[in-house]
Structure 1
Amino acid sequence: MRPGEVERVTVAESVDRYVEMVRAKSVTGTLAPSSAELYARDALTFAALAGPGRVLDDLSGGDVDEVLLRFARKPDGRRARPEPAVAGVASQSAASQARFRRSVSAFFRYAVVAGWVQLDPMAAVTVRPRRRGGLRAERRALTAEQAEGLLGAARDLAAGPPGGAVAGRRADQRTELRDGLIVLLLAAVGPRVSELTRADVEHFFVNGGTRYWRIFGKGGRTRDVPLPGPVADVLDAYLRDGRRLLDRGREPKALLLSWRGRRLARGDVQGVIDRVLARVEPERRRGVTPHGLRHTTATHLLAAATDMDAVRRVLGHADLSTLGRYRDELPGELEAAMRVHPLLPPPRA
């Protein structure tokens, strides 16, 4: 489309069309539903901050700068009682600001293709979010001792006494078996938390005597990941004894069920991890998030000299370069590498 043919649509109208497009992509499988909703939410926030009635093509880089600054000062709605904005102080984290900026950039790239703007104003934007100074501790990989303590607690929990009513628990399901399975899957396979909660019973199958998990990941990509033997054993026990039937004896579709028999929500997973962590010896206990367990999987697989492409496939990344973000340093790793330096073989006896 030539510059003279630019369609002068308002910010609100262009965002509505864009949101419809990204949600359609989630229906066709080219964009994960969670990603589509994130893009849609940020686009709607952009429209509210930029002024819904303004013509999109009239926005300059300075106008977008102002929107980014307004977003940075916007109270974080995830808090129960958002703190009032303070002049010169950002209410949004650096990560949230960077994510919002990426969403706005994606919106304007589409606007150029759709013919709503002559030039992408993001090229003239000067506001940049502060870079994060590394991951928070709970999002970093566990050490071998910490991971072994957590996995041991998960296996012990899953191996608890079967059946029977437990005080404060349902008699028709074993939530302790479910909790152990969740931690084992997160730490041994490293799925995204959305991939874990979206898992259905039919996504697990056996091929050649090995139990596999068909994971439906980002961008409509799927991967078949073999489960380690101890994890497969807990999975089989959970499928056999741990899940309650729905009314009239129907088998539920979701793998992980809440106490009420519904699909487990993403927000419930952290509580499960914390309950299992409480059973770990204090000297090996360290707080960790689901994403931190994903880091743990990648870090220890790579530290064990596992093929990088195999690790990429386990985690569901399209590019090997992405692994760098999931690779944390381990205590003693450099010392071990230097002890077996390839250019300096050990002296002969």
Structure 2
Amino acid sequence: MVVDVSSGDVFDDYAAFLRLEQGRSAHTVRAYLGDVRSLVSFAGARGVGVGDIDLAVLRAWLAETARRGSARTTVARRVSSVKSFCAWATRDGLLGTDPSTRLEAPKAHRVLPSVLGTDQVSDVLDSLRTDPSDGTGDPVAQRDRVIVEVLYATGIRVGELCGLDVGDVDFSRSVLRVLGKGNKERTVPFGAPARDAVQTWLRGGRGDLATAASGDALLLGVRGRRLDQRAARTVVHRVVATRPDAPDIGPHGFRHSAATHLLEGGADLRVVQELLGHASLATTQLYTHVGVERLRAVHAQAHPRA
């Protein structure tokens, strides 16, 4: 069976499946579609239509990906992409059988991002606390303070931060309502510094930047639209650079720093898992680490022959 994909119908239908049925993020949809387009192009160059893709074609495509020097994480993602696509195509009758069931993804080397020390975080955050509490002052500076304070206070993802609406902030309980991966909602607490930053922004800065296009978005760009993730990343890199000895990290590094400092402060691993929105505890274990000094201190205190 050969399916004509020149019209893009197959890609459009698969994208709709990812968005509507699986609740995948826009980033994941783009990545998966890119992988599937690559596979279909690879197969088509060898005279194989979508309906005739088999295990040999899948393995040859992945081997070509590896031969071109792609990272193991890229190959692993491509395996996930084609498994998802083939399962969907089989369900919808585009494939007679699912050829991807025997594919195995390579084990990815998990490289943890750099982490800021607590003193480095304090210096970075203190450098942003220059706006008066009555809400007057530079609106962009007020917004930038919210970005960094909330990222560190909550450990949420940058996409989750940019997706927040004003109504997602509950000041009475000091919590955020966060929509995470797979459209899963969770509640994340924040502390007094983050609360003060958000309140200052809402009293003044947001109103200065808001336009008819702002909607309910909590954070806004300079043109009044919902803040873009790239802009948030730029802010984080810039403010971290104010501490000369700090590693160059982005929002993900702040997320990692928050989780690490929680663990070093004695937080339970499952609590950190819930805060970060990880489906698996194993992900949290790989994502966070406890400093050597903390391990040595606990060992010295707890071991009878330390």
| TM-score between both structures, scaled by the size of structure 1 | 0.75
**What does residue range 47-86 of structure 1 map to in structure 2 within 5 Å?**
47-51=40-44, 54-72=48-66
Query: Which residue of 2 is the match for residue 36 of structure 1?
Result: 29
1:214 correspondence with 2:191: no
**What does residue range 326-345 of structure 1 map to in structure 2 within 5 Å?**
326-341=287-302, 344=304
1:288 deviates by 0.8
Residue-by-residue CA offset, 1:138-170 (whole Å, 9 max, x unaligned): x2332333333333334x255699646xxxxxx
- Cα distance in 1 for residues equivalent to 2:240 and 2:37: 39
Which of 22, 25, 38 in structure 2 is aligned with 1:45? 38
1:150 correspondence with 2:124: yes
1:9 deviates by 4.2
Distance 1:222 1:246, change over 3 A: same
SS in 1 for 2:5: helix
Q: Identify unmatched segments of 5+ residues in structure 2.
A: none
Query: Which residue of 2 is the match for residue 233 of structure 1?
Result: 196
| TM-score between both structures, scaled by the size of structure 2 | 0.85
Which of 62, 79, 85 in structure 2 is aligned with 1:107? 85
1:313 deviates by 1.8
SS in 1 for 2:100: helix
Larger Rg: 1
SS in 1 for 2:260: helix
User: Quick one: which amino acid aligns to residue 109 of structure 2?
Assistant: R
1:309 deviates by 2.7
Which of 174, 178, 190 in structure 1 is aligned with 2:143? 178
SS in 2 for 1:224: strand
| Contact 1:200–1:253 (CA under 8 A) maintained in structure 2 | yes
Query: Which residue of 2 is the match for residue 79 of structure 1?
Result: none
Distance 1:313 1:196, change over 3 A: same
User: Quick one: which amino acid aligns to residue 195 of structure 1?
Assistant: E
Residue-by-residue CA offset, 1:210-245 (whole Å, 9 max, x unaligned): 222111111111112121111101100011111125
Segment of structure 1 superposing worse, 110-119 or 195-204: 110-119
**Aligned residues: percent identity?**
29
| Contact 2:154–2:258 (CA under 8 A) maintained in structure 1 | yes
User: Quick one: which amino acid aligns to residue 142 of structure 1?
Assistant: L
Residue-by-residue CA offset, 1:115-138 (whole Å, 9 max, x unaligned): 433443335558x66843623xxx
Which of 121, 128, 131 in structure 1 is aligned with 2:99? 121
Which of 297, 302, 314 in structure 1 is aligned with 2:263? 302
1:322 correspondence with 2:296: no
Which of 102, 111, 130 in structure 2 is aligned with 1:134? 111
Residue-by-residue CA offset, 1:187-224 (whole Å, 9 max, x unaligned): 12111111111111121123xx3222111111111112
Q: Identify unmatched segments of 5+ residues in structure 1.
A: 1-7, 73-87, 165-172
- Cα distance in 2 for residues equivalent to 1:29 and 1:131: 24
| Contact 1:199–1:255 (CA under 8 A) maintained in structure 2 | yes
Distance 1:71 1:161, change over 3 A: farther
User: Quick one: which amino acid aligns to residue 186 of structure 2?
Assistant: R
| Contact 1:62–1:125 (CA under 8 A) maintained in structure 2 | no
Segment of structure 1 superposing worse, 44-53 or 180-189: 44-53
Distance 1:200 1:29, change over 3 A: farther
- Cα distance in 2 for residues equivalent to 1:124 and 1:25: 22
Segment of structure 1 superposing worse, 222-231 or 23-32: 23-32
Query: Which residue of 2 is the match for residue 196 of structure 1?
Result: 161
- Cα distance in 2 for residues equivalent to 1:15 and 1:109: 19
| Contact 1:153–1:277 (CA under 8 A) maintained in structure 2 | no
User: Quick one: which amino acid aligns to residue 30 of structure 1?
Assistant: G
1:260 correspondence with 2:223: yes
- Cα distance in 2 for residues equivalent to 1:140 and 1:153: 21
Give RMSD over aligned pairs: 3.1
Distance 1:125 1:314, change over 3 A: closer
User: Quick one: which amino acid aligns to residue 95 of structure 1?
Assistant: T
Segment of structure 1 superposing worse, 257-266 or 46-55: 46-55
- Cα distance in 1 for residues equivalent to 2:111 and 2:4: 36
Residue-by-residue CA offset, 1:92-118 (whole Å, 9 max, x unaligned): 433223222211122122233334334
Aligned length: 304
1:287 correspondence with 2:248: yes
